[in-house]
Structure 1
Amino acid sequence: MASLRLAVEIAFVLLAAATNAALLTDPSQLPANKVYDYVVVGTGPGGGVIASRLSEDPNTNVLVIEAGPSDQGVTSLQIPLLAPQLQPNQAFDWNFTTVPQKNLDNRTLQYPRGRVLGGSSGINFMVYTRGPQDDFDRYASVSGDDGWSWNSTLPYWNKIERLVPPRDGHNTNGEIAPAIHSTSGALNISVQNAPFAQDPLVIETTQELPTEFPFNEDMNSGYPLGIGWMQGTYGNGMRSSASTAYIEPVLSRPNLDVLVETTVTKLIQTGEASGTPLFRGVQFASSATSPKYALNVTREVILSAGAVNTPQLLMLSGLGPSKTLSSLNMKTIVDLPDVGQHLTDHPFLRTLFGLVNPDDDILESLARNATFANDVLNEWASERQGVLTDSTGNQVGWLRIPDDDSIWKTEQDPSSGPTAPHFEFLFVPGFVSETETAPTTGSFFTLLTVLVSPSSGGSVTIASADPFAKPVIDPNFLDTTFDVYAIRAAVRSAARFAAAGAWNGFLTGQAGPFANVDVGSDEDVDAWARAQSWTIWHPVATARMGTCAQTVGNGAVVNLDATVKGVQGLRVVDASILPYIPAAHPQAVIYAFAERVADLIKSGQSIC
């Protein structure tokens, strides 16, 4: 999308000049002698919610620290269809990489994480899925707290969601069930704002092949299985993030200070209570070479830095596996062997098909046709209308491997239950690849397959005591028999979907590097998976939640109320605490977890 990128850069210069924000950009700007009750580290769906809800009490002072810059006035962060330009190796990305993946031809993968106000919700693809009810019921079972069950968390969607009409004003009957959504919450959600040519064909396929691909009017009912219209975190033609929904609307609160472009380098022990370490302090700096600052709070430090940075920061602070810390000559304050362990992520694998009509390839049209790119940008800028108001697809599918499949004779089902999918479909009008640049000719339709109930697990650790050094990330993709089988099943299911009669005259068949893959051959599909699988950037579980048992080393890092085991004054609220990976895009689940934890904190309720 080079031509569109240039136009957006010009628009950004014009908008940035008019931007005004009540944000601090250097630690030296912090108000002198102000006493904070809470400091929140990170501003994604966890930290953004916590900061907003705690600062609702005017007598509670909250400081938020974000490593990245503000998102205000940045056009590329506002336009939904520009999401592919935001990562990897871009300005608002941490630009992490993995270790070589032994099951993916030893490839090193880029591992995007949002480094901007709003965290990864500011750069993601905006898919909004609550997940299956079995996921939440499993969270309740693992934690021993029914408050995490599907039925118990239902009221929180009313606080999270603000269902808004699509920008083109079309009738959404049959695309969403409004009765199960709120119109008064913080986060804008909507269905497609502008049509893509493939839309009617996706829906027609569910009518042609209803047994394998049933239509589902609303995946957020707790029963996501099927194909239907995607709900996204956008509204009024723009992205809705943890920043725009939870932080920016309350920046005028005098008891809320937001410090951006500042990295928390360490959590500080401030004392002991009955022999238990107290962690109510943080150290932070603008860069590796700038002065370090520190402050203490009266109540809690709340760590919401995400599934990669949270375990890194815990270990840098002496909270983690003693074996790792001692190898780096670092003091272990509390031996928490599960910090950084159990990393789980969703690998995705593309299937590529050719298009009869090149105009149906929206992504390549934006990249190759400067006139078209400028026209759609002007349409967005003047009216908040047109294809730029959509994400990269308007439908989503959630599917399970059949109960009578032979895989169940030898493998256990890693999903949470019968309402949970094993894999996902995403439908993109263009060429999608993380392994190669888009060709200069040809037109493409990409059907992405995502393994959403994986059984493989990896880790996040550190190789240095330097807080500005990159963490060591190993998602360990496709490391089990089930995961290899499931991704193979997903590719074959995608091929059957694209072979339906509905696509006659629209698709030309397998295309690009996928053209030579024999989907009937295990060897061919497995080789394609090893060479092409990538992360869809959903890491979780690196500081996962468990019961209130006082012993550490039982597979959990935080208690069921998100307080860190073995210490006081420290809580974690982000994707790292999810006990299992959701069979969904995790952002909605994290919003819900954060809303509940905020209520627990505000009520003063001590569960453990």
Structure 2
Amino acid sequence: MSTEYDFIIVGSGPAGSAVAYGLGQSAKKPKILILEAGGPNDDKNLRVDGQRWLTFMNKDMNWGYKTVPQPQAGNRELDYSRGKGIGGSSAINFGVFTVGAKGDYDEWARIVGDDSFNWEHAHQRIKQLETFHPETPAGLDVSKYVAPSPTDHGVSGPLDVGFAAEWEKDLLPALDIFEKAGFPLNPDHNSGNPIGASVLISSAHKGVRSTSGDLLSKLSDNVTIKTNSTVTRVILDGKKAVGVEIDGVRYLASKEVILSAGSLDTPRILMHSGIGPEEQLSKYDIPTVLAAPALGKGLRDHAFTPLVYKRTPESGSGRSSFYGVANKDAADAALEQWKIDGTGPWAKYACEMGVGYFKFNEKFTSSPEFLALPAAEQAYLNHETVPHYEVLTHFPIHWFIPNFPDDNLDYACLLVFLYNAQTSGTVELQSSDPSVPLLFDPKFLESEFDRKAAVESLREVLRLAESPAFAKDTVGTIAAPAFNSTDDELLAYWQGTISSSWHMTGTAKMGKPGDEDAVVDNDFRVVGIEGLRIADMSVVPVLASCHTQSVAYVTGLTLAEKIVKEYCL
């Protein structure tokens, strides 16, 4: 059996949906097929903003991937979740909508030799995709903390982003603590310069989560979406992609096949199509169509560790809102209220956080670990807008720690994120069966730079926690190293508590002609194969300074622009 379309897009996450959105709105309305391995995710109850932390654990929406044992994490297999179904990971992520640094996009443009990826152009795409809602809670004077420029934000895109209608009572005092401890404030982390502490912009509005499915809902009948359709391989005619296969059924593309299955699954589809490292393909008796030794290499990711402190009832992270959904009856009542008008406890609990992006001082940038980096990487990390670590406040960690005691619910949780990891991990074949996931090895903390940066970021946030403005309301430690810990002790804390941030990047990198580590060119074409492109986080050649759903959206829309121009659509 076969059915033919102009373009076939594999995957409905932010990147794939943005490709479809850009192509689907073009004047000539090409015939597009979107193939999604998971389900429709069309139950509105899956969009409850205050349940963003619980949706992540929905096994029907999560592939449930794990890493291989990590030597620098006690040989533990770490959670490596990816979203399943319409919306991809945007349907299960934690709703953080941060777009990164101007320096990230300018570095991308430099690496691939194409200014269409620079901040000026990326910023326009973000504005095209978003409707930014600047409203803040009535009665709060937020002018010191929130002052976005209208020129930095979109007003008519399909993706609703903004602030929660109600904020935790200690949110603004928490930002004051940063300032008093010598950390700057930033009135808009999505301006291109994220440096400083900010009120977080979320991918949600009026209590409802936004996902990339919102882009698909804007498309007309020239776009067909098929769910529960797992692509096993690309159909190749020699070295030309002509379609894809699902359970023996062929779907043909007269123009192009576009893979948007993400950093963990796009390489799997390619490898089972005969594209990839020869030694892996031959090991599992997959005939090699194109030797692509760089495929599956270059995996990078952010990681985080939590600091959790028991606080006075007056200073804890708004547990009053938690008590509104603390038992089944209250939770059910809150859900009924949410269904009626999008308000109530499920529209405010843990829906607003603080986020901070900061740089180390010259002591770090003159360290042997930093100076051992390539000159271009040092220049990038020294860019005024590129942060070295992130801090996220108000994380509801009691939902992630088994048997968290009720008497500790007055707590503050600070997540410390390691940025700019230099370790290069891998995704590799482990079976000839295309339904079996690849082996995922991010190699967390295996480079000296990463260990140094992890220790220094933790030490900086401990300095915040020990500052008088914070410490005066701390009544105990739930999970944190001592302020005067040695470097070895801080590293050991990271190793015992590290988690992926689920920002997997770079397994099919974009590059210039002749780059040994490049799988695709600057037009997203798989080098050596006609009619096959990749648009997802696997191609992005920088580990962006943000939570990467925004970068995936930009990636997809960039490819759409290129295709519309190339085919005169």
TM-score (normalizing by structure 1): 0.86
User: In the alignment, which of 128, 144, 153 is matched to residue 159 of structure 1?
Assistant: 128
Distance 1:602 1:208 in 2: 50
Q: Which moved more, 1:112-121 or 1:158-167?
A: 158-167
Q: For the structure 1 residues 355 and 524, does the alpha-carbon distance in structure 2 shift closer, same or farther, using more than 3 Å as the test?
A: same
User: In the alignment, which of 73, 92, 106 is matched to residue 104 of structure 1?
Assistant: 73
Q: Extract unaligned runs of 5+ from structure 1.
A: 1-31, 272-276, 286-291
The Cα shift of 1:231 comes to 0.7
Q: Which moved more, 1:380-389 or 1:363-372?
A: 363-372
Alignment of 1:126-165 (within 5 A): 126-165=95-134
> Match of 1:236?
206
CA contact (8 A) 1:432 1:446 kept: no
1:537 and 2:502 equivalent? yes
User: In the alignment, which of 182, 201, 217 is matched to residue 187 of structure 2?
Assistant: 217
Distance 1:536 1:367 in 2: 26
The Cα shift of 1:437 comes to 4.9
User: 1:449-482 deviations in whole A, cap 9, x for unaligned?
Assistant: 0112111120111111211112100011011122
SS at match of 2:232: strand
User: 1:359-382 deviations in whole A, cap 9, x for unaligned?
Assistant: 833686467444543454344233
The Cα shift of 1:409 comes to 3.7
The Cα shift of 1:192 comes to 3.0
1:397 and 2:356 equivalent? yes
User: In the alignment, which of 469, 490, 498 is matched to residue 436 of structure 2?
Assistant: 469
Q: For the structure 1 residues 198 and 457, does the alpha-carbon distance in structure 2 shift closer, same or farther, using more than 3 Å as the test?
A: farther
Q: Which moved more, 1:39-48 or 1:171-180?
A: 171-180
Distance 1:46 1:429 in 2: 27
User: In the alignment, which of 525, 534, 540 is matched to residue 490 of structure 2?
Assistant: 525
CA contact (8 A) 2:90 2:211 kept: yes
> Match of 2:417?
450
CA contact (8 A) 2:369 2:449 kept: no
CA contact (8 A) 2:131 2:156 kept: yes
Alignment of 1:328-477 (within 5 A): 328-357=284-313, 360-361=318-319, 365=323, 368-370=326-328, 372-390=330-348, 393-405=352-364, 408-412=367-371, 416=381, 417-428=383-394, 430-431=396-397, 436-443=402-409, 444-477=411-444
SS at match of 1:405: helix
CA contact (8 A) 1:158 1:182 kept: yes
Q: For the structure 1 residues 448 and 317, does the alpha-carbon distance in structure 2 shift closer, same or farther, using more than 3 Å as the test?
A: same
The Cα shift of 1:401 comes to 1.2
> Match of 1:122?
91
Q: For the structure 1 residues 496 and 370, does the alpha-carbon distance in structure 2 shift closer, same or farther, using more than 3 Å as the test?
A: farther
Distance 2:176 2:440 in 1: 41
Distance 2:218 2:335 in 1: 26
> Match of 1:4?
none
SS at match of 1:163: strand
User: In the alignment, which of 40, 46, 52 is matched to residue 15 of structure 2?
Assistant: 46
Distance 1:420 1:154 in 2: 16
SS at match of 2:60: coil
Distance 2:423 2:120 in 1: 29
Task: Name the amino acid aligned to 1:467.
Answer: P
> Match of 1:182?
154
Alpha-carbon RMSD across the aligned residues, in angstroms, is 2.4
TM-score (normalizing by structure 2): 0.91
Task: Name the amino acid aligned to 2:209.
Answer: R
CA contact (8 A) 2:307 2:479 kept: no
Distance 1:386 1:561 in 2: 46
Q: For the structure 1 residues 254 and 396, does the alpha-carbon distance in structure 2 shift closer, same or farther, using more than 3 Å as the test?
A: same
Q: Extract unaligned runs of 5+ from structure 2.
A: none
User: 1:406-451 deviations in whole A, cap 9, x for unaligned?
Assistant: 7624423655433211110111253358575533542222100011
The Cα shift of 1:507 comes to 3.0
How many pairs are equivalent? 553
CA contact (8 A) 2:459 2:483 kept: no
Distance 1:170 1:318 in 2: 61
User: In the alignment, which of 213, 221, 225 is matched to residue 254 of structure 1?
Assistant: 221
Distance 2:328 2:19 in 1: 43
> Match of 2:531?
569
Q: For the structure 1 residues 501 and 322, does the alpha-carbon distance in structure 2 shift closer, same or farther, using more than 3 Å as the test?
A: same
The Cα shift of 1:541 comes to 0.3
Distance 2:537 2:50 in 1: 25
1:546 and 2:501 equivalent? no
Distance 1:394 1:588 in 2: 18
Distance 1:435 1:316 in 2: 38
SS at match of 1:398: strand
The Cα shift of 1:157 comes to 2.2
Percent pairwise identity = 27
Task: Name the amino acid aligned to 2:232.
Answer: T
The Cα shift of 1:342 comes to 0.5
